[in-house]
Structure 1
């Protein structure tokens, strides 16, 4: 198993891509903490994780709240005693064209997506530095590199994650900490399922491989970056987009 007995905290992992990441890492032997605003769904996911023969813990967490973050990491450490891998997955969208975008919506997206990644990474670095080992994996997006109409806030937040990741990698490589990002393209989710077939076909036409990715595609990339196979990789972005951005 690639992640046997590694202790992992994943934000926003009660459902969607985060849940797929949690299961993929658990199947490789990792103990998983599901940190999410929805404690009920997080608890269900944690129970499902436990059925795989590893430890599963659910924590209620608003990643944009510094006190919440400190408390969540404290709870995690009381349970596991050591943080090996942090996956910054929590994220939201509040889409609108620039001239129609409200400041409150801009702030909400940046607070969760970018500030949340900053706050959780800061706690992780503090804990990992003591052991001179750790991996921080943050979920960015293809739109960090391409931009996307109607997604100024989301694109900016995901681009910020790339810059933050590279800076963490440079600042803390000497303490054995690796920081990398994963940038998914169009991934098959409940959100894409709700889009009309015509629009889905238009989206697929921009992808050389001609299809959407799966949440498992993203999860497999995270497993790789969390494993010893990626120990000589830091400050990088792994693109999972079927070739739509090269």
Structure 2
């Protein structure tokens, strides 16, 4: 097989949660450019519909489905619609996420609960439902979106302990699921992005831009094309022997 063929996703079907905007949209776009059918789902159906049309303009097929990843009924609907239209689910990207900014001593319990529910429980529920399809197929790629915030303590300006905790949990979940489902030929990996300008991170970047750039060897924030190549690698045949890994995409910040 030619080296470039290893990165093609022709005939594959991917589900990207939170795929209507931000990093999810970047990944969905990249998969479509590589030839995959892409199902985008989130609570914001309008954003998903817009991304569906963009994907179709790229020459790929797409579905847009409203989904709250903490709701098992919504997840079941996404899985059923995907299998009904495309027959298989080859790739799952667990990208949907939530955050809340407040000092630890002031963090409302409801905020903590929401962040953990979306980021951790949502990833579990979606993986469980899609995994049942992948187990029957005896193949699949699951990519969880973690964060460099999950590696340990974060700078004082980053008052997001619920988010940071959830992303550490995602890393452990990724490694454990890779061990449990390897026997089904399912690869489970995670991407730990650094700072990318998105609706979720913009306020944080405004507060800590100088410190973020000083701690990033490449001296810039992530850009629109910086994540989709990493996601494509983990979704493609090129990563068939990669599982249980946390791929860090942060401009070198973790190297300090």
Unmatched segments (≥5 aa) in structure 2 = none
- 1:228 has 2:237 as partner: yes
Check 1:4–1:144 CA distance in 2 against 1; reply closer, same or farther (3 A cut): same
Q: Which of 100, 103, 113 is matched with 2:109 structurally?
A: 103
What does 1:200-219 align with in structure 2 at a 5 Å threshold? 200-219=209-228
CA contact (8 A) 2:150 2:164 kept: yes
Check 1:226–1:196 CA distance in 2 against 1; reply closer, same or farther (3 A cut): closer
4+ residue stretches of structure 1 with deviation over 4 A?
Answer: 190-198
What does 1:64-83 align with in structure 2 at a 5 Å threshold? 64-83=70-89
Q: Report the TM-score, using the length of structure 2 for normalisation.
A: 0.92
Report the alpha carbon displacement of residue 82 of structure 1 after superposing the two structures with TM.
Answer: 0.3
Distance in 2 (CA, whole Å) between partners of 1:123 and 1:162 is: 19
Report the alpha carbon displacement of residue 134 of structure 1 after superposing the two structures with TM.
Answer: 0.1
Check 1:234–1:97 CA distance in 2 against 1; reply closer, same or farther (3 A cut): same
- 1:117 has 2:123 as partner: yes
Distance in 2 (CA, whole Å) between partners of 1:34 and 1:7 is: 11
- 1:160 has 2:169 as partner: yes
Check 1:195–1:96 CA distance in 2 against 1; reply closer, same or farther (3 A cut): closer
Task: State the Cα deviation string for residues 13-45 of structure 1 (Å, max 9, x = none).
Answer: 101110010111100000000011111111111
Q: Report the TM-score, using the length of structure 1 for normalisation.
A: 0.95
Report the alpha carbon displacement of residue 193 of structure 1 after superposing the two structures with TM.
Answer: 5.5
Report the alpha carbon displacement of residue 196 of structure 1 after superposing the two structures with TM.
Answer: 7.8
> What's 1:55 paired with?
61
CA contact (8 A) 1:145 1:159 kept: yes
Report the alpha carbon displacement of residue 184 of structure 1 after superposing the two structures with TM.
Answer: 0.3
Which 10-residue stretch deviates more, 175-184 or 40-49?
40-49
> What's 1:184 paired with?
193
Distance in 1 (CA, whole Å) between partners of 2:73 and 2:28 is: 24
CA contact (8 A) 2:99 2:200 kept: no
Root mean square deviation, CA, Å: 1.6
Residue-pair matches, total: 246
Which 10-residue stretch deviates more, 212-221 or 77-86?
212-221
Which 10-residue stretch deviates more, 192-201 or 105-114?
192-201
